Amino acid sequence: MEKPALNYIGVVIACLSGIVFLAIRPVKQEEKIEDQIGQEPFLQSPQYEKIVEKASEVIPTPVSIRKRLLGSMLAIIAGAIFGLVFNPSTYIQDHLDKYPGATKNGLHYVHAMYSGILISSTFYYVVYIAYKRNGPYLYVRSILPAIVSGIMWGIAQAGFLVANSVLSQTISFPLVMIGPGTIAIFWSIFYFKEIFGIRNYLVLLVGTTLRIIAAILIVLSKPIVKE
């Protein structure tokens, strides 16, 4: 039996977790350098010259509340659009009687989705090149990482399609969304070191806990139908 109340509560808690994450205070580059200098014996560390060199190259980049709100709103819009990407394939899978030859297998919709993405992204890039008068900005060092991340995304998206066909979007979406978000947090903490400090860690803990609770409630709102 479906329990829509749990779904509504889960969505509300998920929104609250997003608000909690807004309280994270990213550490600016100059603050990280000052922290490094403060931890090293003055003029005795072999890394001191590198730290001073970095400090001389730092350009202050204050993040205003307006910019954070704008970034959050754009992220919400992007997330809403991303949430629509599975609607065509899901609709076909739920109405097989209207589409002769269609199947429930999620992998059968990979080619159509990826072809659409390739054509669309190529079109947008051509428009960007025309807008920049054949002088687009291209960060060369990002090309290989972009290709590798695209391959990883393609594999993950194929798994997402399979999960949707087996579990339904109501269950697969919250489950799949927890993993990437959590991994991104670990990257920010341990690799990029953008986030540290007791306050930020507590915010991350509370936000992640709320997100997990929301996912559990959403999953419990719709039972898995055994065929």
pLDDT tens-digit profile, the chain (227 residues) = 467 788 788 878 888 887 888 787 765 544 444 454 444 444 445 554 554 455 444 444 566 788 878 888 998 898 888 878 888 888 898 888 899 888 888 899 999 999 999 999 999 999 999 999 999 888 889 899 999 999 998 998 898 888 888 877 777 777 777 777 778 878 888 887 777 788 888 988 898 888 888 888 877 877 654 44
Sorted by where each begins, the domain ranges of the chain are 4-26+63-220
Q: Quote the pTM value.
A: 0.63
Closest to 161 in 3D by CA, of 81, 88, 106, 105? 106
Six-digit token string for 80:
């809403």
User: Per this entry, what is the length of the chain?
Assistant: 227
Nearest to 35 by CA among 196, 192, 200, 191: 196
> Are the beta carbons of 210 and 16 closer than 8 angstroms?
yes
Return the pLDDT at 50: 53
